Chain A
Amino acid sequence: MSRLWGRGWKLALPILGVGLVAAMAAASTFAASATPIKVAVLSDCEGAFGAFDGQDLAGVVSAMSEYAGAKPVNPNDPRKGWTGGSIGGHPVKLVGIGCSNDRADTAIKETKRLMEQLGADVMIGPLSGDESIAVANYAKQHPTKTFVDGSAGAQDTTLKVQAPNFYRFNGDGAQWNAGLGDLAHNKLGWKTAAVVADDYSFAWTSAAGFIAEFCAVGGKVTKRVFPPLNTTDYSSYAQQMPTDVDGTFVAVGGAGLIPFLKAYEQAHGPIDGKKFIGNLFWGTPGQFEQLSARVAGAYAGGAGTAGDLATKEAQKYSKRVIGKWFKTIPPFGAAAPQASSTFTFGYFINTWGLIKGLQAVKGDISGGQKKLQKVLGKVSLQTGYGPIKLDKNRQGIIPVYYQQLYTKNGKLAVKTVGYIPNVDQTFGGTFSSKTPPPGRTFPPCVKRSLPWVGKTQHPKVIP
């Protein structure tokens, strides 16, 4: 018996050894696969765009829920974040939501807190122009972390800073205004125009898109006025606006838009909608409703979005993605109608792009995230509003839509009237890394050829 026992031991030991090694290997594999991917989000909860904080976070949480198996903590409060979710077996953990205020200084401080104190691996955000330039510069100094934009549209962020680990699936402010110059000159008959824009990087980029195209087709911009962002009394700027022009392009956004229009009315009388084109804020759900019927007839630049597009994909995104994960988005109410907001859509597609990149590497962010960063640049998205891919500066090449405001049952409504596919950041060769950044005097008003002029398509929309 004892000899048998001795033989048993001899047999059992190697089995035990092999079992132990296998168990250790399995444990290490499990440990590796369980490494969480720590995600941070940077939004604006204060400042000119603080009202869109809910839309930003609804975009992020919806994408996480739709594509990474997460679930909103509260379907009426996107700021509560998400629970669950994993990519390649790695849990996707929300480590923090930064609260910025359109100032680059605050954005950097919040980014430091999210990345360095809370130890985030990747960050989604920020919301606005100069914040994104500062964050892209921060990204450049932190090559082992990965950053995707939120909804910021300053041109410099990708065209000039060119941080290899900063990705932007949304367009910039100029791209978003493709088609408006052609519309103003060749359809509305404007020969001269005035431009008023917030005095910061996004609005400069936004105005640059209109100016470049309007001048390209033969129009003249006779006056450019730049009130500082967060101005509350626009009366002196409204007084500077000329009335002897055929039309006015307005790139005053966020909390400043209504005060500017009121100041304009006080200075020059009622607004004639047909003589105005606004940038994306004139068509942003949550914002445009407040403009009231005073601007009916005006056109509005888009942000690569068209909420009324009569395609299955567009309606699915609105009702069965954003509307599925959220009932309401504060402070504006029902969630689905806010799906086409620049902010909801921007944060949604950037988060989705990040998820696709992470899925391609099976959630493996080891090795300084080099594998993730390599595949992210090749990610393309079939969004509800059309395809998006990235250029060599990791900037989205996007479909662009523009809208017209009209009254429906006595209330202001928006309908999409123009579509231009595949607009890239060079804006038909107008901008490059060598050209000066958009600013108070750039671009100059010069005639040139743009590939989409005269080719604007008119998409089918839901009435």
Chain B
Amino acid sequence: MTTRSVVDRAIGGGALALAALAPLIFSDYWVGALLTQTLFLGIVASSLIFLSAYGGMVSLAQVALYGIAGFVLGNVVTNGNTKGLNLGWNPWLAVVLAIAVTVLVAVLFGLLASRSVGIYFLMITLTFGVIANLFFGQVTTFSGFGGISGIPAPHPIGPVDEHPNRLYYVALVMSVLVYALLRYVVRTPFGLTLQGVRDDPVRMASLGYNVVLHRTLAFAFAAVVAALAGVLFVWWNGHIDPASIDLSAMIDVLVIAVIGGLYRLEGAWLGAFVFVMLNNYSRQIDFVGPRFHTLIGLVFLAIVLVSPAGLAGIWERAQGALGLGGGAAPQPATAAEAPTRDADV
């Protein structure tokens, strides 16, 4: 084990320990609102980073997929509301249905999008995101402009307002599991093939691999991760509406991934933390107030200029400077060119 990986693991372990002890250290608002939000936004951003770093696919549809899971859940668990289907289902059954529907939609989206690459893939997934947003905005049977309110988290996780730590720990465990799962998957034959498809799809096709199928499966797999984040989101928010998955929300997740680092899974949670903190605290500054998107845009620009590999890249550079075996951060995945780095392989 290199010095660098020891340091990495020590920091990771420390962060996890801090996260586990957060309810003892931080205020209820920090835990129940800011850190929980960080965790589920990190999960959805990790699905984007997985696709980008290991599949060469920068997807803007992850928010739509997370929203589909949220809307399905909201429609089937609520009862007595004026909006939505009001089916009043068992909440756990609803979670299964929400993930299943999301994956089904992702397979359809994936089949269409996976034949394209680079900027075209980005645009097609952006279109999917817009379609989902308009669908839920227009189809009042499932949502309409006002969305669905009063969505409860199931016992024993909820009521969230009475037990904010429970949802936080669920989100933390889900984050750890998602991270471990993604790390595992990229080491499996499927993950290695996906990286081959990312690096040279023509060669992989000539070797007999079904490039489209692999991309579609990766897209569907990332949808499972996004759907989990969607479920956590509606449990946390108790409400979902088309604005939860609008263009601004899509850009937010992309910004989180870029700020954190588009090629390292850890960057997802790092970027989400920075995003959530800026979003929360900048609103209290008179001058910034409603101009949060201007502020986050400036941070985004600064990160891209200073460290194209995001905050994770800055850390790697620092390691290099300290002689811990790190080096200059490699270029992150771009829409036009897939990343060439597979540090975790």
Contacts and interface: CB of A to CB of B under 8 A. Distances in A.
Are the chains A and B members of one assembly? yes
Interface of A: 45-46, 96, 99, 103-106, 108-109, 112-113, 116-117, 129-130, 133-134, 137-138, 140-142, 154, 156, 160-161, 199-201, 228-229, 436-437, 439-440
B32 interface: yes
Contact of A137 (B137, B238, B244): B238
A228 B280 contact: no
B146 A108 contact: no
Nearest to A110: B283
Nearest to A230: B145
A200 B243 CA distance: 13
8 contacts: A104-B147, A108-B238, A108-B239, A113-B280, A133-B146, A140-B150, A200-B145, A436-B82
Contacts of A439: 140
Nearest to B137: A228
Nearest to B237: A108
Contacts of B237: 105, 108-109
B28 interface: yes
Contacts of B138: 199, 228
Contacts of B32: 116
A201 B146 contact: yes
A96 B284 contact: yes
A325 B167 CA distance: 46
B240 A105 contact: yes
B29 interface: yes
B159 A141 contact: yes
B149 interface: yes
A141 B238 contact: yes
B149 A133 contact: yes
Interface residues of B, number: 29
Interface in B33-84: 33, 82-83
A227 to B, nearest CB: 11
Contacts of B83: 437
A346 to B, nearest CB: 19
Q: Report, nearest first, the 10 A-B pairs whose CB atoms are least far apart.
A: A130-B146, A103-B243, A200-B145, A137-B149, A437-B82, A105-B243, A137-B150, A117-B29, A99-B290, A105-B244
Contacts of B323: none
B161 interface: yes
A105 B147 contact: yes
B241 A105 contact: yes
Contacts of B140: 439-440
B234 to A, nearest CB: 11
B12 interface: no
Contact of B243 (A96, A104, A440): A104
B325 interface: no
B91 interface: no
Given A116-B29, A116-B32, A134-B149, A104 B239 contact: yes
B241 A130 contact: yes
A318 B181 CA distance: 64
Nearest to B249: A105
A199 to B, nearest CB: 6
Nearest to A439: B140
Contacts of A161: 149-150
A229 B137 CA distance: 10
A200 B150 contact: no
Given A104-B239, A108-B238, A141-B238, A129 B146 contact: yes
Contacts of B150: 137, 140-141, 161
A64 B283 CA distance: 24
Contacts of A200: 144-146
B241 A103 contact: yes
B287 to A, nearest CB: 13
Contacts of A437: 82-83
A208 B26 CA distance: 48
A430 to B, nearest CB: 16
B154 interface: no
